[in-house]
Amino acid sequence: MTKWADFVISAVKKGSGLSNISHVQIHEDLEHGLTAPKLIDKHEISSKIQKGISFITIFKKNENEWIAGDMVRTYVKDGDVFIRTDDNKVTSDNLGTLPTVDELEIVLTEIKPEPKPEPKPEPKPELKPESKPEPKPESKPEPKPNIETGDYEYEDNR
C-alpha cells in the first residue's frame, strides 16, 4: 500500500451548525496499511497540521480498499479553528463528503480494551503420602532336633 500522509481521516462528527466539525476519525498511515480508527477533536488536528504533520481524507472503495482524497488544511479566522480540503477562508469546516461517525462507532472507538484475564495458577502436583516399609515378619524359632530320639523340639519363650 502506498503511504499517502502521516494520518488519514475517514469520517467526521458534526458539531453545532451544519458545516461545523467537532471530531474526526483518523488512522495512522503505515507502509503496510492503516491502524485502527481513533476519534480526536478538530483542534488537535489543526495543531498537528501546524506542526507539519500531514493529513488527507480517504474514502472506502470496498471492504479492503480505500481511495485517497484531498490534503487537509487548517486556518484560524476570528479566533476559531477551521479544517478544510480547499483554500476557501470561510467560517466553516469542509472535508468533502466524508461519512459521519455514528454514535455507536464513537462509543466503540473510545472503549478501553478489556483487561486480560488473570492466568490460572498451575495446579500443584498432588503429594503422595510417603510409603512406610512393610514390617518384616517375625522369624519363628527354628526347631532343634533331639539327637537321641530324632524328634524336633520347639523352644517356648515364655
- Asked if residue 55 belongs to a domain, the reply is yes
d(CA 76, CA 99): 24
In a domain, 48, yes or no: yes
Q: Who has greater pLDDT, 28 or 143?
A: 28
Residue 60 has pLDDT above 80, yes or no: yes
Give the tens place of pLDDT for each residue, 101-113: 864 354 444 445 5
**pTM (predicted TM-score):** 0.61
157 inside domain = no
Within a domain: 122 = no
pLDDT digits (tens, 9 = 90+) for 6-49: 999 999 998 877 668 999 999 998 888 888 999 999 999 999 99
Question: What is the reported pLDDT for 134?
Answer: 73
Report if residue 125 sits inside a domain. Answer: no
**Which of 17-21, 47-51, 57-61, 86-90 shows the lowest mean pLDDT across its residues?**
17-21
∠ Cα 7 9 14 (to 5°): 140
Q: Flag whether 153 is in a domain.
A: no
Q: Which three cell numbers stand for residue 39?
A: 476519534
Domain count, the chain: 1
Residue 31 resides in a domain: yes
Could you give the 3-state DSSP secondary structure of residue 109?
helix
How many other C-beta atoms are found inside a 10 Å radius of the C-beta of residue 125?
6
Owning domain of residue 25: 7-110
